[in-house]
A = this chain, B = another copy of it.
């Protein structure tokens, strides 16, 4: 039972039903009465979120991000704000930092401001322990929560995600197809997106009959110095690798610096793949082959989906966007 059923039964457009729901005066009295009668007849209760176009809304969306100085998230904020603006909505920004305590506090703060919805930018807002997500699941009963590249299966929570699993499966597959069989996987976090990526890497290895080696799956800090230091430590300890697949471009930059320091030819002796195709992947010589995770498309889709939720239209719980592999100079396929 949704707005479509009302529209069909009343013989009017969805836009008209939406106008009636939102008290828009641009509907004739006769039409309004017909729509209301059909709603009564069908026992239709308007979606609690279908108020975005109504009166009494702040027309303000809260955006939470863990760190706007991260290049990926900085881009996300830019695209989210721009798309919200194009729909006449303001953006109330909160940079939460990584701690769950701050995320919860800022979330409460946004709710107290009576924002119309909250957008959580980046995959760091879905915690691995279910009860740590309870504050989101519970709040989503009162207003829509939009996840950019995170997923939580609960009413009122809508996700737009990049298919990180498939992207990493494909990237690892390219390295394997080109004859690499000791591919180091460097990652920064166990987020929703992080878990999909490492699974893609593992499944690609298995599909190619290459063993998954624990010593080749390494976590490191999200900066190029940490990544370079880790690779040096691994090399010094005799761990061999002929490819480096990373969950973020910054780690791939560290890998390029490691190869330069050791005099390794890129990509002949060491192939390197970044992730996010950010400006960082263009700064190095050679430039880093990377995965374009379509941050603009993710953000535009997130906002457009939110507008449909406000309109009372049923939308999928999860929309998946496909990444592109951008071949540059650190791989040879």
Q: Which residues of A contact B (CB under 8 A)?
A: 60, 63, 67-69, 71, 74-75, 77-78, 81-82, 85, 90-95, 106, 113, 224-225, 250, 253, 256-257, 260, 279-280, 282-285
Contact assessment for B93 and A77 in the assembled complex, using a CB-CB cutoff below 8 Å: yes
A285: chain B residues within 8 A (beta carbon): 256-257, 260, 284-285
The listed residue (B78, B225, B250, B283) touching A95 by CB distance below 8 A is: B78
A280: chain B residues within 8 A (beta carbon): 279-280, 283
A260–B91 Cα distance when bound, in Å, is 43
Contact assessment for A81 and B94 in the assembled complex, using a CB-CB cutoff below 8 Å: yes
A68: chain B residues within 8 A (beta carbon): 68, 74, 77-78, 81
The distance from the CB of A305 to the nearest CB of chain B, in whole angstroms, is 21
A85–B279 Cα distance when bound, in Å, is 29
A69: chain B residues within 8 A (beta carbon): 71, 74-75, 78
A75: chain B residues within 8 A (beta carbon): 69
Listed by A's residue number, 16 A-B pairs whose Cβ atoms lie within 8 Å are A67-B78, A68-B77, A69-B71, A69-B74, A71-B279, A74-B77, A77-B93, A77-B95, A78-B95, A81-B94, A85-B106, A91-B93, A279-B280, A280-B280, A280-B283, A285-B285
A283: chain B residues within 8 A (beta carbon): 224, 253, 280, 283-284
The distance from the CB of A275 to the nearest CB of chain B, in whole angstroms, is 15
For chain A, what secondary structure do more than half of its interface residues adopt (helix, strand, loop), or is it mixed? Answer: helix
Contact assessment for B90 and A282 in the assembled complex, using a CB-CB cutoff below 8 Å: no
A283–B282 Cα distance when bound, in Å, is 9
Most B-side CB within 10 Å, residue of A82, A91, A260, A283? A283
Knowing A90-B113, A280-B283, A285-B260 are in contact, say whether A95-B82 is a contact too (CB < 8 A).
yes
A106–B60 Cα distance when bound, in Å, is 15
A257: chain B residues within 8 A (beta carbon): 285
A71: chain B residues within 8 A (beta carbon): 69, 71, 74, 279
